Structure 1
Amino acid sequence: MIIGILSQKGGVGKSTISINLAATLASRGKRVLLIDADPQGSAMAWSSAREGDPLFPVIGMAKPTLHKDLPEVARDYDHVIIDGAPRVNDLGRAAIIASDLVVIPVQPSPYDVWAAAETVQLVREAQQFKPNLKAVFVINRKIANTAIGRDVVGALGQFDDVPVLATALTQRVVYAESAGAGLSVAEAAPGSEGAREVERLADEIVGVVS
Structure 2
Amino acid sequence: MIVALLNQKGGVGKTTLALNLAGEWAKRGKRVTLIDADPQGSALDWSEARNWEGLPRLFGVVGLACDTLHREAPELAQSTDHVVIDGPPRVAGLMRSALLAADLDLIPVQPSPLDGWASAEMLALVNEARIYRPQLIARFVLNRCGARTMIARDTAEALSENDPPVLARTIGQRVAFASAAQFGRLVGELEKDTPGAREIAALASEIDRLGIERSGL
Aligned-pair CA distance for 1:18: 0.1
Aligned-pair CA distance for 1:188: 1.3
Give the secondary structure class of the aligned counterpart of 2:9: coil
Structure 2 counterparts to residues 35-74 of structure 1, below 5 A: 35-50=35-50, 51=53, 52-74=55-77
Unaligned runs of 5+ in 1: none
Cα root mean square deviation, aligned: 1.0
Aligned-pair CA distance for 1:89: 1.2
Decide whether the 8 Å contact of 2:76 with 2:83 is kept in 1.
no
Count residues with an aligned counterpart.
209
Unaligned runs of 5+ in 2: 213-217
> Are residue 81 (structure 1) and residue 80 (structure 2) matched?
no
- For 2:215, the equivalent position in structure 1 comes to none
**Could you tell me how far apart the structure 1 residues matched to 2:28 and 2:10 are?**
30
Decide whether the 8 Å contact of 1:186 with 1:192 is kept in 2.
yes
Aligned-pair CA distance for 1:158: 4.0
> Are residue 141 (structure 1) and residue 148 (structure 2) matched?
no
**Could you tell me how far apart the structure 2 residues matched to 1:5 and 1:64 are?**
15
Decide whether the 8 Å contact of 1:101 with 1:209 is kept in 2.
no
Q: Which amino acid aligns with 1:42?
A: S
- For 2:20, the equivalent position in structure 1 comes to 20
Decide whether the 8 Å contact of 1:5 with 1:83 is kept in 2.
yes
Decide whether the 8 Å contact of 1:107 with 1:142 is kept in 2.
yes
1:167-210, CA deviations, whole angstroms, 9 ceiling, x for partnerless residues? 00000110100010100111112211110110000001122234
Q: Which amino acid aligns with 1:206?
A: D
> Are residue 127 (structure 1) and residue 121 (structure 2) matched?
no
Give the secondary structure class of the aligned counterpart of 2:158: helix
Question: Among 176, 180, 183, which residue is 2:182 paired with?
Answer: 180
1:47-83, CA deviations, whole angstroms, 9 ceiling, x for partnerless residues? 1111211110100000011111222222100000000
Decide whether the 8 Å contact of 1:67 with 1:97 is kept in 2.
yes
Greater shift, 149-158 or 50-59, is seen at 149-158
1:74-128, CA deviations, whole angstroms, 9 ceiling, x for partnerless residues? 2100000000011151011111111000000000112211121111111111111
**Could you tell me how far apart the structure 1 residues matched to 2:143 and 2:101 are?**
23
- For 1:11, the equivalent position in structure 2 comes to 11
